[in-house]
Amino acid sequence: MNIHRLLAHCRTLPGVQEDVKWGNALCCMVAEKLFAIIRLDERGQPQAAMSIKVDSHRFLELSDLPGIQPAPYLARNHWLLLEADCVLPDEEVEALISRSWHLIASRLPKRQRETLGLA
């Protein structure tokens, strides 16, 4: 899993903001709502682990794959932790990141959704 490629993909999505929270987590947000969390090392560099929100119907399917597990503290809301040894190709993880962004952005107020290009 190429975490730098995946972080670059996060940054291409509309309205993305970043903030470091909890001392070691780079949080990618849309309208201050989390859609991806990337673990940072002690120097503040991204590690090969990230958490994203997934559709409820895909949660169990994906969490059964090697290198993917329910995200600590967030699993009840269908978040997964993708580790360095995640079996999914980067292209599929990028699609999951885009879906995570969409799941969060689609619940924003209408005016904010319109600003992001969502109907």
pLDDT digits (tens, 9 = 90+) for 56-98: 999 999 999 999 999 999 999 999 999 989 999 999 999 999 9
Rounded to whole angstroms, the Cα distance separating 26 from 69 reads: 19
Q: Which two tokens stand for residue 93?
A: 């993880």
Distances (CA, A) of 43 to 25, 39, 40, 83, 90: 12, 11, 8, 19, 24
In the DSSP assignment, the letter for residue 65 is S
Contact residues for 55 (Cβ-Cβ < 8 A; gap 6+): 78, 99, 103
Per-residue model confidence (pLDDT) at position 117: 86
pLDDT digits (tens, 9 = 90+) for 13-51: 999 999 999 888 999 999 999 999 999 988 888 888 999
Q: State the pTM of this model.
A: 0.93
| Stated length of the chain | 119
Per-residue model confidence (pLDDT) at position 92: 96
